[in-house]
Structure 1
Amino acid sequence: MTVLNLRPLAGGRILRGSQPFGLDAVSAAGFLAAHGIQTVMDLRSEYERAMVPWLIPNGGSDAGTSGPAGPAVPAAAVELVENPFDPHTAAGGLQSIETPQDLGELYLGWVRSRPEWVADALRPVAQGRRTLIHCSLGKDRTGVVSALALLLAGEHPDAVVADYTATTANLPEMLHIMADTWRLHVPSTPSQFFSPDLMILQAPEAAMRHFLAGFAREFGDARGFLREAGLTAVEVSALGGPGA
């Protein structure tokens, strides 16, 4: 398997996706090299990482490759950054998510409570490193960070919504794999835990529109928000791309 729900943002400076489903050390190194990834920004909590770890040393990958021509060649160094955000303990719990508006409000609670988390997630990109940003499904935490990156790059809100809802087509496969993964590590996991009927496991257009409207009301724009969250003016300009 591989990283699913994968797509580029910001002219390819960012890749957003899921956690590394089924990647051993060799396949992980191959995936990272094939996509030119210099930094992996892992937004998962500690218990999520333990179930599906990145099999590369923190600070670089030395899995390398080998072939008939000779010994293994070290893979290019990849920075692995753990920037955890546990949605179960963050402001706005998951149990009350019943409508798309509830889901969008959950996202707003995240940026209210942890603005520095968003800034830290985007800092490697601002420093010129091609970065894979991911959580478990690459939908919620990744979706919030991606939305701010797209807004800062000057994308229209409709483009942000389209990027968010693109996850929908990938959810059936990912939920099936996630359910198997959880049952392997936590056999008592109820079957309904990964039901596609749960709003928290959907990516409806209305959720992102609610988030974007609320973000504009509360914070104005992504540039000001990220400056207040801890990025420098140079970093914010770099994230904005040419002409920012």
Structure 2
Amino acid sequence: MTLVNFRDPAALADPEGRRVRHGVLYRSAQPYPADNAAIVEQLNAAGIRTIIDLRGEAETEDADWARSRAAGIEVVAARVQPTDRKLEAAMMAMTTDADLGAFYLLMVESAPGAVKLAVEAATRPGGLLVHCAAGKDRTGWLTALLLDLLGVPAEEIVADYHRTTAALPQIFEGLAERNRNALNDYHAGSLTVPRPLLEAPADAMAAFLELVDARYGGTEGLLAHCGVDAATIEAFRAKAAAPAAEVPAGVTA
């Protein structure tokens, strides 16, 4: 079994390669049931040399990336805990898609060190894979921030995020098998998952990007708040931005 929801967001968000080099940034859900030979082949075929794992420590298992590590692919654990006291309170109060967007910004703000580590890892040579558990929420906002640094229009970033909708049945099936006890608790009524968290609504990502602009003046301001320096941002752009010579006349980056 290969990775679920695996894709190069630039291939759809920037199909002509005007802003982003294709084959640099990929996204997916976590490996299920665990890393295997087919996944290693999938990563090697895409030229991926670094994996950024955004899951919290309790979400991971030793076998998750064992084969890929053995094959020489580096795994960077940039831990973003799925909940803490503030996140749990925001989750309980969540009713709208805009609330989910605000929840995403709260997640970023809750883990500045992990965000800094992830962006620094994104500058390493070779292709990069970003993933969390479902490959929707933490993966969604980090991918959005990286694409925004490269000048991808907000509407295309939102559209890429929303594309995860098609993979949600398969994603949730894998999560259910991996987290059977939590699923039993959910059916027993001891857990309540807000409706927006079970979807990939376009309005959530649009709200997130708007909040980043309103509160921090844009992605660079938010990343600076997380400790990411200007040199790291420029190194990522040097790696992932489309060469100026390839940008058609009249198109702004």
Sort the TM-score into its range (normalised by shorter chain): 0.7 to 0.9
1:72-151 mapped onto 2 (5 Å cutoff): 75=71, 77-89=72-84, 91-93=86-88, 94-151=91-148
Q: Is there any run of 5+ residues in structure 2 with no aligned partner, and where?
A: 10-19, 245-252
Q: Is there any run of 5+ residues in structure 1 with no aligned partner, and where?
A: 63-74
Give the structure 1 partner of residue 40 of structure 2. 29
Shift of 1:228: 4.0
Q: Secondary structure at the match of 1:127?
A: coil
Give the structure 2 partner of residue 69 of structure 1. none
Deviation readout 1:1-27 (Å, 9 max, x if unpaired): 221111114422111110011344433
- What amino acid does structure 1 have at the position aligned with 2:208? F
TM-score normalised by length of structure 1: 0.82
What is the Cα-based RMSD across aligned positions, in Å? 2.6
Give the structure 2 partner of residue 61 of structure 1. 69
Deviation readout 1:3-55 (Å, 9 max, x if unpaired): 11111144221111100113444334323222211011111112211287222
- What amino acid does structure 1 have at the position aligned with 2:7? R
- For 2:114 and 2:96, how far apart are their aligned partners in 1? 25
**Structure with higher RCO (Cα < 8 A, 6+ apart):** 2
Shift of 1:169: 0.7
Q: Structure 1 residues 104 and 230, CA, compared in 2 at 3 Å: closer, same or farther?
A: same
TM-score normalised by length of structure 2: 0.79
Deviation readout 1:93-135 (Å, 9 max, x if unpaired): 2333221011011011122333332232121222333111000
Deviation readout 1:44-102 (Å, 9 max, x if unpaired): 1122112872223xxx733xxxxxxxxxxxx3x11111111112226332333221011
Q: Secondary structure at the match of 1:80?
A: strand
Equivalent pair of 2:52/2:78 in contact (CA under 8 Å): yes
Q: Structure 1 residues 52 and 187, CA, compared in 2 at 3 Å: closer, same or farther?
A: farther
Q: Does 1:212 align with 2:220?
A: no
Q: Secondary structure at the match of 1:173?
A: helix
Question: Which protein has the bigger helix share?
Answer: 2
Q: Does 1:190 align with 2:186?
A: yes
Equivalent pair of 1:4/1:18 in contact (CA under 8 Å): yes
Stretch deviating more after TM superposition (30-39 or 97-106): 30-39
- For 2:175 and 2:101, how far apart are their aligned partners in 1? 23
Deviation readout 1:128-179 (Å, 9 max, x if unpaired): 3311100011100011101100110001110110011011111011112211
1:2-21 mapped onto 2 (5 Å cutoff): 2-9=2-9, 10-11=20-21, 12-21=23-32
Q: Secondary structure at the match of 1:40?
A: strand
